[in-house]
Amino acid sequence: MKKILFCGIIIILVFIVIVFFINFIVVKSSQKQIIRVADAENLKDVDCIIVLGAGIWGNGPSPMLEDRLNEAISLYNKNVSAKIVMSGDHGKIDYDEVNVMKNYAIEKGVPSENIFMDHAGFSSYESMYRLKEIFGAKKVVVVTQKYHLFRTLYIANQLGLEAYGVNSDPRRYVGATYREMREILARNKDFFGCLFNVKPTYLGEPISLDGSGDITNDKTNTINNAVESTDKNITNESTYKNEN
């Protein structure tokens, strides 16, 4: 019995060590890509600024998402890039992060044609994967909270993107400690996702960032044509509703 207990303890300790070692790798390998706004202004030929979804409250963004959007709009106004990609969850008719995000930016003065929506950005991994494969991005600026940037930039690196991160942390958020602890496990999940090149839930036809973002508009409040949906669209199939 003691031997079984001892083996169990060893297994748990090894598991904990692996989890924190992977967490260290993800953070350490991407931390130098987190830059100041002034440094972002000096970047050349940035394909787009990408904003990752973080939940909506009714018809408006959550506080975390609002801060991400404000930072991205500020970077856009500083000419860091002429295009913004709003990537989030629109897997159901009654849950639509990306249109809320786009409408918010339009209200702040960003022209609709300069805002693209990725309706199938169900996770950070899928958002970055689709940014490369669907939108053809090569050099990007990611806007999210700092704790989230490490993982997102690590994913970008593994996918072959040249990515830089600007954090949006003007305030302390409710549940921040829990969220940062949860992020340790999320970094492990996406570490292995990158390792095994896991495909996103949906891919689809390429969309050029050189064109108008209005091509990603969905006038019927369903997933846009960027999503592969020959038989059924995501709105009918997807049960995903994950926070990025």
pLDDT in tens, 175-200: 889 999 999 999 999 999 999 999 99
**Tokens linked to 6:** 């001892």
Give the HSE-up count for residue 95: Cα atoms under 13 Å, Cβ half-sphere.
Answer: 21
Q: Is the pLDDT score of 103 beyond 80?
A: yes
CA 229 to chain centre: 22
What confidence tier does 244 reach under pLDDT thresholds 50, 70, 90?
Answer: low
Residue 221 pLDDT: 39
How far apart CA 16 and CA 13 sit, in angstroms, is 5
Calculate mean pLDDT across residues 207-211. 96
- Which pLDDT score, from 0 to 100, does residue 236 have? 38
Local confidence band at 224 (pLDDT 50, 70, 90 cut-offs): very low
Burial of 217 (0-12, 13-18, 19+ CB in 10 A): middle
Q: Is the pLDDT of residue 151 over 70?
A: yes
Quote the CA–CA distance of 52 and 123 in Å, as a whole number.
9
Judge whether 216 and 224 are in contact, CB under 8 Å.
yes
Cα atoms in the Cβ-side hemisphere of radius 13 Å centred on 173? 20
Q: What is the four-CA torsion angle of 137, 127, 48, 110, rounded to 10 degrees?
A: 150
Domains of the chain: 43-237 (3.40.50)
CA–CA separation, 141 and 146 (whole Å): 13
What is the pTM assigned to this prediction? 0.87
Q: Which residues of 135-156 are buried (b: 16+ CB within 10 A; e: fewer)?
A: bebbebbbbbbebbbbbbbbbb
What's the whole-number mean pLDDT along residues 70-74?
98
pLDDT band at 234 (very low <50, low <70, confident <90, very high): very low
Number of H helices, E strands in the chain: 8, 7
Where is 188: in which H helix or E strand?
A: helix 176-195
How confident is residue 243, by pLDDT bands cut at 50, 70 and 90? very low
Comparing CA positions, the residue from 196, 198, 205 lying closest to residue 123 is: 198
Q: Per-residue pLDDT averaged across 112-137, rounded?
A: 97
pLDDT at 233 over 70: no
Q: Does pLDDT of 4 surpass 60?
A: yes
Q: DSSP class of residue 201?
A: S
Q: How confident is the model over 131-137, as a mean pLDDT?
A: 97
The CA distance from 230 to 239, in Å, is: 18
CA angle 160, 137, 101 (to 5 degrees): 120
